[in-house]
């Protein structure tokens, strides 16, 4: 494998011990120079011994210790406007997307679509964006700190640019989690499991982003992630072979719900219920041997943001891959978690659910009035809190609205292609790396599976917002 160590001179700076691998593409080397200097790839001119490096060929003389000259500025060039006003009918697709303020896409740096899709989905959470803006660098170095700063950095870039090259985020991910830096025979990065990446990123953010405080909240959480993404199960374990053995009770925390898939499961809801009623084998203290237990779980705390993972991959030892279950599993745009909850939590959810019902009835009445040709007065509204007053970051109704989907196309988790689908300002967008296009809600529902096309792998639901007329503010009921 031809590999050299060179010096790179740029402006007044010199970068030493820069690795050059001519088995990789010239573009890969330019990405490396971008991470060192900040000079965008399209503005780089690279010279060595009087020769200019071509875009698609290693045509410069290379040897260990060679000096490479990098020309280009890391600052955006500001020129006087020279073009006349361009109308939308004269624009190409990219120009139309920019004019329409389409959200930023992320460049694929070589099988990094899994990371791009995860970032796009997590960025859909406004409270997470705001918490990251407040996060400040600390003295010292740690994996969670560098990973949190990297996510913050790429979120900031996405707010300012139409397309972002997430090189620093990728390098940080590779440093903190070397398993994601694995390469294939040709030196290119291997595809990785998006859900594994999601889980690891959340663990890092979990350690660094503090919980949000308010004057009414009585709950305390280790971090923002548990506060807004974390739920709690109340669990009961009963031995089926020893009637007299005492039922054991416990609590378990979760950051994701698993939707199990078998021949009978056709809908997400039934897949979730499978997770709540499990048959397991463990040692019985009464029988002094392994016995079968039934574990029943119900949710006693619903988070503001509910993450659902479709368990679509099953490990096949012979092939050494996580083979994919392609079965069509329907999921809703609006999800009600009420019947997955404990009776105690259900009682707490009822007041806000009644408020939703009251507003739905009013909307139905107004629709009837409009159908008769009568005018209905438009009223200003305000959003009611979606959390319990004493538990900021919870869900107080059980109602959720789908806001992001991460899909996979292919036959194993370590191959194929990942895409993020995110709802922004009432419009769904498909984030296929740096290619961003608007799509419809019908397109989202078609991601339920059944063949070799993009299939939902992770769903992110946000609490449904209750909008009430402002005139009701003074008479608003208290939601406990």
C-alpha 393: how far from chain center? 18
CB 414 within 8 A of CB 190: yes
- Active-site residue among 113, 121, 197, 259? 113
365 token code pair: 């009445």
DSSP string, 369-397: HHHTT-------EEEPPSSBTTBTTB-SS
C-alpha neighbours within 13 Å on the C-beta side of residue 376? 15
> Which residues, in sequence order, are CB contacts of 465 under 8 Å at separation 6+?
383, 384, 386, 401
- By CB atoms closer than 10 A (0-12, 13-18, 19+), residue 165 is buried
- The yes-or-no answer on residue 113 being catalytic is yes
- Active-site residue among 48, 259, 408, 417? 417
> Which residues, in sequence order, are CB contacts of 123 under 8 Å at separation 6+?
129, 155, 158, 422
Q: Give me the helices (H) in 69-125, please.
A: 93-99, 113-122
Other C-beta atoms closer than 10 Å to the C-beta of 78 total: 5
295 token code pair: 């574990």
**Distance (Å, rounded) from C-alpha 195 to C-alpha 458?**
7
**Distance (Å, rounded) from C-alpha 119 to C-alpha 132?**
13
Q: Which residue has the tokens 């996580």?
A: 322
C-alpha 258: how far from chain center? 16
Query: Biggest alpha carbon distance in the chain?
Result: 87
**Distance (Å, rounded) from C-alpha 102 to C-alpha 305?**
24
Buried b (16+ CB within 10 A) or exposed e, 43-55: ebebebeeeebee
User: At residue 353, what are phi and psi to the nearest 5 degrees?
Assistant: -65, -35
Give helix then strand counts, H and E, for the chain: 11, 23
> Which residues, in sequence order, are CB contacts of 275 under 8 Å at separation 6+?
257, 258, 259, 260, 297
CB 296 within 8 A of CB 276: yes
Q: Which residues are catalytic?
A: 113, 417
């Amino acid at each position: 494998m031809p590999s050299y160590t060179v010096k790179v001179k740029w402006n007044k700076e010199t970068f030493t011990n820069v690795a050059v691998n001519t088995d990789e593409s010239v573009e890969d080397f330019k990405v490396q120079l971008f991470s060192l200097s900040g000079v965008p790839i399209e503005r780089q001119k690279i010279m060595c011994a009087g020769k200019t490096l071509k875009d698609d060929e290693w045509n410069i003389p290379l040897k260990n210790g060679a000096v490479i000259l990098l020309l280009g500025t890391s600052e955006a060039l500001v020129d006087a406007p020279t073009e006349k006003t361009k109308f939308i009918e004269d624009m190409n697709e990219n120009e139309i997307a920019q004019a329409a303020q389409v959200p930023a896409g992320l460049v694929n740096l070589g099988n990094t679509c899994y990371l791009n899709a995860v970032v796009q989905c997590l960025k859909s959470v406004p409270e997470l964006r705001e918490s990251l803006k407040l996060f400040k660098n600390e003295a010292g170095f740690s994996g969670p700190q560098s990973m949190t700063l990297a996510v913050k950095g790429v979120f900031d870039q996405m707010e300012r640019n139409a397309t972002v090259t997430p090189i620093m985020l990728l390098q940080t991910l590779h440093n903190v989690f070397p398993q994601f830096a694995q390469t294939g025979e040709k030196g290119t990065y291997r595809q990785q499991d998006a859900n594994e990446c999601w889980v690891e990123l959340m663990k890092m953010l979990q350690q660094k982003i503090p919980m949000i405080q308010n004057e009414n909240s009585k709950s305390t959480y280790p971090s923002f992630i548990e506060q807004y993404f974390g739920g709690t199960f109340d669990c009961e374990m009963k031995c089926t072979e020893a009637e007299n053995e005492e039922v054991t009770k416990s609590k378990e925390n979760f950051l994701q719900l698993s939707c199990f898939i078998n021949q009978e499961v056709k809908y997400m809801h039934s897949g979730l219920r499978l997770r709540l009623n499990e048959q397991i084998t463990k040692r019985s203290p009464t029988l002094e041997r392994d016995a079968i237990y039934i574990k029943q779980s119900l949710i006693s705390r619903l988070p503001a943001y509910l993450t659902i993972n479709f368990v679509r991959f099953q490990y096949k030892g012979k092939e050494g891959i996580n083979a994919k279950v392609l079965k069509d599993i329907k999921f809703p745009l609006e999800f009600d978690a009420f019947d997955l909850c404990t009776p105690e939590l259900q009682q707490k959810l009822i007041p806000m659910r009644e408020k939703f019902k009251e507003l739905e009835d009013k909307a139905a009445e107004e629709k009837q009035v409009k159908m008769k040709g009568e005018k209905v007065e438009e009223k200003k509204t305000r959003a009611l809190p979606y959390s319990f007053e004493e538990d900021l970051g919870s869900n107080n109704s059980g109602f959720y609205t789908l806001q992001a989907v991460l899909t996979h196309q292919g036959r194993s988790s370590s191959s194929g292609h990942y895409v993020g689908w995110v709802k922004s300002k009432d419009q769904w967008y498909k984030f296929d790396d740096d290619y961003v296009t608007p799509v419809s809600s019908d397109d989202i529902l078609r991601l339920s599976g059944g063949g070799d096309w993009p299939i939902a792998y992770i769903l992110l639901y946000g609490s449904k917002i209750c909008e009430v007329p402002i005139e009701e503010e003074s008479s608003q009921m208290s939601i406990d």
